[in-house]
Amino acid sequence: MIATDVAELDLSKPGVVASFIKDSWEANAGFDALVHCAGLYPAHRVVDTTEEIFDRVMNVNTRSALISGAEYARLCGSHRRSGSMVFVSSGAARRARPGTTAYAASKAALEAVVRGLALETAALGLRCNAVAPGFVDVGSELSPVPPAYIEQMAAASPQGRVAQAADIVPVIAWLLGDEAAWVNGQSIPVDGGDSIGTRNAPNWLG
């Protein structure tokens, strides 16, 4: 397994992602799968979203995904090797919430990237999919979330809690494996039912 974190790899800088994928491939004689899990989550109202904020979010969340997938596909193609890619999207790609417009735009664009990669690389023996989690409590220092927000998200969830990373990983592993060989170009919701509705929505039942 090859893994890296944003602390050691600045995904916003041009050229960094492609170099990392290529160097990792050469150092390990190739690899069979690519998982791209990156997401800046700045909370800004639309009227407070600057060009700098938008560009950084798009560069990290979307551009780095496209470039990593494209470089992986080039390497697989040149070495006549099949493989699978999974990208971590978000339910925000299809569901608006206040303060998440730039983030949501980046993840919606990511899902378009996934479809394009899947279509163009299938002939090389590659598959490309995404998972779209709801809110996941990862304790990020880079994009910190107030505890009160986490409590509100848990209260709204059909299952009464927010997700942990362990809820998402099995679906990623399934998409990478042979059992999902006929799944390509899809974004799979992994959100505990968040996308079907909320428990605390207004109603007339009393």
Residue 154 sits in a domain whose CATH number is: 3.40.50.720
pLDDT digits (tens, 9 = 90+) for 85-108: 999 999 999 998 899 999 999 999
Domain carrying residue 169: 16-193
Selecting among 41, 72, 103, 149, the annotated active-site residue is 103
Considering the domain boundaries, does residue 65 fall inside one? yes
pLDDT confidence of residue 139: 72
Nearest to 33 by CA among 86, 87, 84: 84
Considering the domain boundaries, does residue 188 fall inside one? yes
Considering the domain boundaries, does residue 32 fall inside one? yes
116 vs 114: CA distance, rounded Å: 5
pTM for the model: 0.91
pLDDT confidence of residue 142: 66
Considering the domain boundaries, does residue 206 fall inside one? no
Considering the domain boundaries, does residue 5 fall inside one? no
103 flagged as catalytic: yes
Query: How many domains does one find in the chain?
Result: 1
Secondary structure of the chain: what % helix, strand, coil (to 5)?
50, 10, 40
Considering the domain boundaries, does residue 26 fall inside one? yes
Q: Average pLDDT of 167-173?
A: 96
Considering the domain boundaries, does residue 199 fall inside one? no
Q: Average pLDDT of 64-82?
A: 97
Considering the domain boundaries, does residue 2 fall inside one? no
Q: Average pLDDT of 58-80?
A: 97
CB 122 within 8 A of CB 84: no
pLDDT digits (tens, 9 = 90+) for 112-146: 999 999 999 999 999 999 999 998 887 777 667 78
pLDDT confidence of residue 198: 84
CB 123 within 8 A of CB 177: no
